[in-house]
A and B are shown apart, each in its own frame.
Chain A
Amino acid sequence: MAVESVRDLQVELLGIRKHFGGAQALDDVSLRVAAGTVHALVGENGAGKSTLSKVCAGVISPDSGVVRAGGEDVVFRSPRDALARGIATIAQELALVPGLTVEQNVFLGAEPRRGGLLDRKALRRRYDELAEHVGFDLVPDSPVSSLRTADQQKVEILRALSSGASLIIMDEPTAALSREDTELLHDTIRLLVSGGRSVLLVSHFLSEVLELSDEVTILRDGRLVRTSAAADESEASLIDGMLGRSLDSVFPGLPPAPAESASIVLSAVGVHAPGVRGVDITVRAGEIVGLAGLVGAGRSELVMALVGASRVRSGEVTIDGEPVDVRAPSEAMRSGIALVPESRKEQGVVPLRSVEENATLASLATFSRAGFVDRRQERAAAGAVLESTRVRAASPRAPMSSLSGGNQQKVLFARALLCGPRLLIADEPTRGVDVGSRRAIYDLLVEQARAGLAVLVVSSDIEEVIGLSHRVLVMRGGRVTGELTGADITDENILTAAFLDTDTNKGADS
C-alpha cells in the first residue's frame, strides 16, 4: 500500500511579504508553480529566493499573503503541514543517515511494521513499487554512505515521494555535484516532471535553469522582477534582471599571457601524493593556469599536496627556484603559496570570529610582536585588504557568519592575499557565490595576475576555466592528461581530455 501522491498539484503564493528585523526579505511576491513543470527561482544572494522557497515549504510563515495548494488556501505552520499538502524540500545539505540502506532511508520514520517489529518484506515491496513508479535504479540494500551524491539526492527524492510529495523544492541541488552527477540529477528532474510532479528549482547556474525549467521567476532585493517562459530568456537577460543593470560580460578581460621568458614561479616535478600520481606543473609570473577535470580526477588532491596539507610521497616543488617544504601548510605558506580552499564552510571560514580576524588568520605573525597581536597594525592591514577585495560587511568586527557566501569568499581571498603570496591557488573560487560577487572574484584573480602573481584556478565550471585561464591543464586519474593554450582552450577539448583514457596501465601506481 504505497502512499498515493497528490497528482497535478498547483501551488500558488500570492502577495507574500516577510521581514526579518528591519530588512524586508520579501515584498509582495507572487509565484505560481503549475503541475508537471519545473519552475526556476533566480536572483543574487539575498534576493529572497531561499526565503520564498521556505515559505512554500512551510519553514517560514509569511507576514502577509496567501499560500494556495490545489486551489485551496492553506496555512503551513511547519514543513510537516506542507508535506501533508504534497510539498517537500530537498535540502542543500542532504539529511540522510549514512549508515542505513537506501530503502531504510527512504522509509525512515514510516517503516512498515508487523507486531511492533520491522517488516522487511513489506519494506522491500514498497520500495520496489516506488522506485519502479519513478524509474529510479538504486540498489535498495546498499548503504547510503557508499552512494555518489547524485544518487543520495535520488534517495532524498524517493523519501519525499514516499510521503506523497508532488511539488519538490530543490535549493541549489547541483552546487556540490560534478558535471556527471549534475547530468544525472537533471535526468531525475525530467523524469519527475514527466510523471506529473513539479519542481521548484533554486539555482545559481543559469545554463541549468534555462535548460531544465519551463518558467523562470527573477527576484531582486525581495521583489519580483518578472516571471517568464524559460524559452524567452537568455543568460544575459537573466543576469540583467537579477542585477537590475547589465553586466558587460561575465569575465573580465585577461591581461596578455606572459612571455616564454617570464620567470617561472611554481615548478612542481613528479608529485606523488594521495590521489596524485606523478604530476609536473609550472606556473609563470602573471599567468593564470586553469586546472580542469572531473571530480575525483585529482585536482583538489594536487592542490592539497602543493600547500602541504596532504602526505606528499615524492616530488619536488619550488617557488621562484627555492625548494618548498610541503610537509605542512605552515611551511608551504612561508614559501609563498596561499590557498583559497575548495569548501568555504569546512576549510575556510571560522564562523564565530570577526571578519577582520578571519582575514588576518594566516598572516598573524606579520602583525605580532613577541607573540602579542598588534591590534592597530592588524586593523589597518585588514581594513585595506578588505577594501581592495571589495568585501561588503556591516563592520570588520561583525561575525563572519553574518556575511553572504560571496562576501565570505572574498574574505578568504583577503586572507590569502595578506600572506603576500607568490602563487595564489583558488579551488572552486565561485562555488555557491552569487552573480555579483562572482564577477568581483574574477576581477580579483585577474588583478593578481596583472600584479605579477602566479595564479592557479581549479574549477568544475568549464566556462569559468575557459574564461579565466591563459593555459588549461586537464587532469584525469591523478595525472595531467592535457594541456591547452590559446584557441585550443575549448569546451570540447577540455572534456575530451577529461574523459579520454590515456592511462593504459591502470593500477600501476608507484
Chain B
Amino acid sequence: MSNVVEHDTPPATHGGNAPAGRLSAIRWRSAGIIVPFGALFLLLSVTSRPFLSTTNLLNILDQQASIVIMAAAGTLVLVSGAIDLSVGATYALAGVVAAQLVPHTGIPVALAAAVLVGLLVGLVNGVVTTYFRINALIATLAMSFIISGLANLVTDGNLLILTDSPDFANIARSAFLGVRSSIWITLLCVVAFGILLSRTRTGRYLYAVGGNAEAARLSGVRLNRVRVAAFMVSGLAAAVGGVIDVSRVLSAQSTSGATLTFTVLAGMVVGGTSIMGGEGAVWRTTIGVLFIALVGNGFDLLGVNPLYQQITLGIILLLAVGLDAWSRSRR
C-alpha cells in the first residue's frame, strides 16, 4: 500500500518539467557515488594483486580514519546550508592540546581537553555564524586563522613528540578483532552521525534549515540552535580526528591540518552532498572520501606518478560539482 494518496485524475504534467524525469534525476544522484566507487573497486581488484588483501584495505581505512570522521560530521554542517572551513585548524589545535597535556595529566584529562577544545570551537563557529550573522565561509575561514594561531602558541612552533607517553598510541593503534581501534572509532562516528542526520528530529531540521530556512523558521524550528549543534558536532569530530592522528604517529604539530580542510570538503562533495545545502547523507560522504582514497591507493599500487593523483582528484571534484549543478538545473 505505497500509494496512500488518492489519485482521482491522471497525474498532472507541469510546464517544461516532467515529474518522472525529475524524480529519476534525484534518485540517480543519491546513488551516484556508488557506481563509480564500485567500478573503481572492481578495476583495482582486477589490475592489482595486493589491492584486495585485507592488510591493504584495512590500511586504507586506518589512514582515512580522521578524514572520514571529519567529513561525516561536516556533512551535517553542509546539509544545514553552512560550511566549516576551520576543521583542519581545529584538528591541529585539539591534537597539540592533547599532546601537550598528556605527559602532565595523563590520557583521560588530555582527551577530555581535546574534546572540549573541539566543542568550544564549534560553539564559537555556530554563534558567530548565526547570532552574529557572519557568512559561514568567511567566519570559519577567519576562525581557522585564529585557531591555527592558538595552536602555534600551544606548541611554540615546535614538533611535540610523545616518547614519554607511549600509551597514547593505544587510542588509535590497539587491535580488536584484528581491526585497529582507529577504524572502530571511525565506524562508531559514522554510524552515530549518520543516525543523527537521518533518524532524529535534529537531523530533519538540518535538512529543512538547509533546504528553506524561512520555511523551517515559520514551522517552529529554532534555526540558530540547529546550526550551532551542527557546528559543534563538526568541531567535536575535528578533535577526535586530531587525537586519532596524534595517537597514530605519537607526535603533533600546529600545522598538521593545513590542507586537511579541503580534503574533507572534497570527500563530501564527491559523495554528492550539495554545497548549497538541504541534501546529502553521511554514508554518501563516507563513500566519497573512500573513493578519493581508492584513487590514491590505486595510483600507488600501480606505480603511477603521484603528480597525476592530484590532477585526477581535481577533475573528479569538478565532475562532482558539475553534476550537482546539472541535476539542480533540471528541477
Contacts and interface: CB of A to CB of B under 8 A. Distances in A.
B39 interface: no
Interface string A225-245: 000000000000000000000
Contacts of B278: 350-353
Contact of A46 (B3, B13, B204): B13
Interface residues of A, number: 59
A361 B217 contact: no
Contact of A54 (B16, B199, B279): B16
A36 interface: no
B21 A21 contact: yes
Interface string A82-113: 00000000000000000000000000000000
Nearest to B9: A392
A334 B222 CA distance: 13
A484 B199 CA distance: 49
Contacts of B100: none
B218 interface: yes
Contacts of B331: 351, 401
A222 B13 contact: yes
A206 interface: no
B221 A46 contact: no
A392 B222 contact: no
A341 interface: yes
A139 interface: no
B23 A402 contact: yes
B105 interface: no
A348 interface: yes
A309 B217 contact: yes
A350 to B, nearest CB: 4
A54 B217 CA distance: 35
B202 interface: yes
B218 A20 contact: no
Given A393-B5, A399-B23, A50 B208 contact: no
A391 B219 CA distance: 19
Nearest to A370: B200
B4 A221 contact: no
Interface string B181-214: 0000000000000000001111011011001101
Interface stretch (A64-72, A274-282, A325-333): A325-333
B4 A398 contact: no
A373 B204 contact: yes
- Which of B3, B220, B278 counts the most A-chain CB atoms under 10 A from its CB? B220
B5 A404 contact: no
Given A51-B15, A364-B204, A395-B5, A351 B212 contact: yes
A226 to B, nearest CB: 20
Given A365-B201, A368-B201, A402-B23, A353 B18 contact: no
Interface in A260-315: 307, 309
- Which of A44, A46, A339, A387 counts the most B-chain CB atoms under 10 A from its CB? A46
B145 to A, nearest CB: 32
B5 A391 contact: yes
Interface string A7-31: 0000000000000111111000000
B18 A361 contact: no
Contacts of B23: 394, 398-399, 402
A438 to B, nearest CB: 14
A357 B278 CA distance: 13
B14 A46 contact: yes
B220 A330 contact: yes
Interface of B: 2-23, 26, 199-202, 204-205, 207-208, 211-212, 214-222, 278-279, 331
